[in-house]
Amino acid sequence: MRRLAGVAVVAALSLVASPGIAAAVPTNPSDAQIDAAQEQTQTAAQQVEAITAALAGAQASVDSAREQSAIALDEFQGKQAEHEAAEVAADAATAAADAAARDLEVARADVAAFARQSYQQGSTSPTLEALTTADGPAQMLERAALLEAAGAHQGDVVVRVTAAEEQARAAEGQAQAALAAAAALEREAADALALAEQYEASARAQAAALAVQQDAVEQQLAQARQSLQGLQAARAEAERFAAEQAAAARAAAARAESERAAAAQRAAAAPAPRATAPAPRGTTQPVQAPVRSVPVGPAAGAGDSSAVETAIAAARRHIGVIYSWGGGSLTGPSMGWGIDAGIVGFDCSGLTRYAYAQAGVAIPRNSRAQYAALPKVSRSDLQRGDLVFWATNTSSPATIHHVAIYLGDDRILEAPQSGSRIRETSMRWGGFIGGARPTA
């Protein structure tokens, strides 16, 4: 019986010691593998930190390029407005020159008529002839009065010709100067537009490059983390399996010992044989090696509230409309300029001008001109409907690059930038240079 009990213990332990018979043994990664994966993850994390710092600097460059683009676009819109005004002045000067030329022609015709009359009478001094041919003193006096009036008229004709010539020359000079000014402003506007396009194209290219770099480093870090997590999961599974096997072995050994003791008791109760073998020593339970765990790493007036609500409602009707660089008219969205040619929408100042035009309030086209023309409001005095402005240098209005409508409660309505759409969002205080009140 004791022999049978010993055989049972060995069999039970054999089953526990050979778990592959019942299930596949999970592979336990080595410490070297775990350490290598952790090192790779740390390296990737460091690279992400480095690229994140670099991207922050690059993003600042993108933001600066976009701000310069907005400033240049603002400059273009101002020059374009000046050019349009200069064209109107040139047209008026040209019309004045044409009118002066017509007056000159009339005056010259009067002089020519006088010359013909003098020639036909045979003298350029008809006065003497008229007086000497009078029938008497009374007729002489009458003719003298008439000749005096005619002489004055002829003198007026000569003076009028001279004045008409001077006016014609002056009007022609003014027209030419106005045309030259309009042409110069048109060239300046074109130069400003080209510069704005250059800045905007640079900003978009940098933004696209940043997106590619960001994706690459994030994928690299994700792969490294996934690899480490896989190894750590395998280690945890192997340790769990080992712990289960150890527990099973202890349970089997305990059952075997119980069976052995029961067999010994039964043997002791039986009649003693004549020859007895030495009693076997107690069976020693197998000692299970401890399992090592691996830690897992870790100034203005109150304003007109009715006009304000009309303007805000008008702007809200276009929430979701795409930003168009240079877009926006007094009647709604319009074609953009340059890099956004063909895109119908609003830019920031186009939206604010349109909104207030619907309330019957006329404001300038570009953001810097809006800030310069409207009553100023400090941050503490901002109220619903005020325009809020941002600049690269908050002490210099010349660097204003963006404008939005303040809704109150630190909320704004804006046309943000190229590629985005008109939206309501939280107020940004960084770069805030001041506010203005269109209805004050």
- Residues that are catalytic: 348, 402, 414
Tokens standing for residue 291: 């399992």
CB-CB contact of 424 with 413 (8 Å): yes
- What gap in Å lies between CA 74 and CA 79, rounded to an integer? 9
Tokens of 426: 């939280």
CA 93/CA 85 separation, integer angstroms: 12
Instruction: Please say whether the beta carbons of 351 and 303 come within 8 A.
Output: no
List beta partners, residue 432: 390
- In angstroms and rounded to an integer, the radius of gyration of the C-alpha atoms of the chain is 50
Sign, CA dihedral 195-201-205-208, equals positive
**Residue 181 is inside which H or E element, if any?**
helix 137-269
Cα–Cα distance between 358 and 427 in angstroms, integer? 24
Return the number of other C-beta atoms located less than 10 Å from residue 399's C-beta: 19
Separation CA 356–CA 321 (nearest Å):
18
Tokens read off for 227: 């690899």
Torsion angle, CA of 311/316/318/320, rounded to 10 degrees?
150
Give the CA diameter of the chain: 202
What phi, psi does 413 have (nearest 5°)? -125, 125
Q: How far apart are CA 185 and CA 86, in angstroms?
A: 8
Q: How many CB atoms lie within 10 A of CB 413?
A: 21
